[in-house]
Amino acid sequence: MSILIYLILGLLTSLLFPPYFFLPLGFIIFPCLCLLLDLNKEDYSTLNIFKKFTIFGFGFFISFLFWVKNPFFVFEETKNFFLVFLLLIILLSIILGLIFTIIFKLGKNIPIIFLIPFMFTSCEYVISIFFYGFPWFTFSLLLSSDEYLLLPIKFFGTFFSSYLVIQILCIPFIFLTKKNFKKELRYFSAFIILPIIFLLISNFNLEKNNLNIKKINLEIFQLNFKNNDKFLTAEKKLQRIIKHIDESNADLLIFGENNYPYLLDDLELKKIQDFLKENQTLIIGATRYENNQYYNSLINISSLNVTYFDKKILVPFGEFLPLRDTLTFLESIVGPNNYSKGNVKRIINLSNNVNFIPIICYEIVFYWKLINKFNYKGNFIVNITNDFWFGDYLGPYQHFYLTKIRAAEFNKPIIRVSNNGISAVIDNNGVVLNKTQFNKTEKFKHKLLFKENHNFVNFHLIFKIYFFIIFILSIFYYFKKNA
């Protein structure tokens, strides 16, 4: 029976995330987890803890990442492999079970109300850093439904915002277990309220002092090309792109990932350049071929010049096949050739001292790999993607909301252009200023206003240290109290 409870709690936890955002449910789920662990703290064996939280992880990941099966159904030859996605779910569930078991055994004397958030965020950190491709799993996503909720991400970053979210959801547990909880509640509240007050004051001062505003006229094109559409030829695609260019008077025209329909074995793009007006720039995704290697590239085209950025963070089993010589039976999924990692700096200069940070597809989830000493002063971010692979429901929405939290975290506007949606202009606070509908062929114009915004990523280390100190003080307080 207890195994079933953990499975149900895992399934329900996925409903806190986009596109559902049933956030009040969290105030039931997490106090229940705290209560289950607290009541049986002395009775749980190592194996018992591992089984229960592996089952919890399976319930969560099977619901949260169920969309991962969708890429297998794009082409007929890969449909028979769709159950491979279950291996990923099982692997992530085992990792969660192991991490929770280790932390629970080492931290038996830590109060449950602090232990539960620590267990979840530790799992989030390990999966993000050490298991390639899954910073997708972050409780910071719960804040992405509202611009005011996104404020902690700007100052604290993704990881510690996740800790705060879970800590707040655990609050009802205090009322369930303490006869005299007022002193505990005051202490606990200070842990959350003090950094939030600091956050609000800092944000007000920084915004008030920033008056240097630039603008650029954009036009975004969501072409909605289908990867498996056999009737839409490369020539028809190119004609449609040229027609859009010819009709546009925007300064910056942006298309989605891999919208350019031909393999680029050089940077000869005169067909497009001839249609660009003076001072116009076009951004489009393409597959580039150089020195017998393939690159997933963002191409930046003006009437006089062509520059590019090659994707650096590739999708395993999508853009490359790990251990290709051994896993030859999976070539029908990935194809006969791997894409190669790019080595060009992640910054592209436009005219008038304006530059942007190029990000391709799911690179946007790797918050610790995108901003560096070469690009931290970039004016805005351009994220091109193709969410056709992610199916029609969970995946594309999760990807979109992850982009929202990056805009707030980096304190930079993001222009997101997806082949099939959702395309959007998002300001530096994570507010969506303009967007398209999913799976529609659309275009829109937007006057992007942007400031010389401070890069908040450098601040996040300060708050990591702050939270670490508070956490240690909290543990010390409880040890001293219960000594």
Residue 426 in 3-state DSSP?
A: strand
Distance CA 60, CA 54 (A): 10
Q: Can you give the pLDDT at residue 126?
A: 87
Q: Whose CA is closest to 244, among 271, 221, 225?
A: 221
Distance CA 474, CA 75 (A): 54
Q: Whose CA is closest to 311, among 343, 289, 349?
A: 343
pTM of the model: 0.89
Compute the Cα dihedral for 364, 365, 371, 372 and give only its sign: negative
Q: Can you give the pLDDT at residue 201?
A: 61
CATH match of 213-452 with 3.40.630.10: no
> CA angle at residue 364 from 152 to 218, to 5 degrees?
95
Taken as a whole, the chain contains a residue count of: 483
Mean pLDDT of 257-286: 91
Residue 161 in 3-state DSSP?
A: helix
- With contact defined as beta carbons under 8 Å apart, do 435 and 424 qualify? yes
- With contact defined as beta carbons under 8 Å apart, do 283 and 382 qualify? yes
Residue ranges of the chain assigned to CATH 3.60.110.10: 213-452
- Summarised one tens digit per residue, pLDDT across range 308-341 is 999 999 887 777 777 666 666 666 666 677 889 9
User: What is the DSSP pairing of strand 355-360 with strand 306-310?
Assistant: unpaired
pLDDT band at 447; cut points 50, 70, 90:
very high
Q: Which two tokens stand for residue 440?
A: 């529609």
Q: Which residue has the higher pLDDT, 95 or 229?
A: 95
Mean pLDDT of 464-470: 65
Average pLDDT, the chain: 84
- Summarised one tens digit per residue, pLDDT across range 124-157 is 888 887 776 566 889 999 999 888 888 888 878 8
Q: What are phi and psi of 320, to 5 degrees?
A: -155, 155
pLDDT beyond 60 at 179:
no
Q: Which two tokens stand for residue 18?
A: 């986009």
Q: Can you give the pLDDT at residue 416?
A: 97
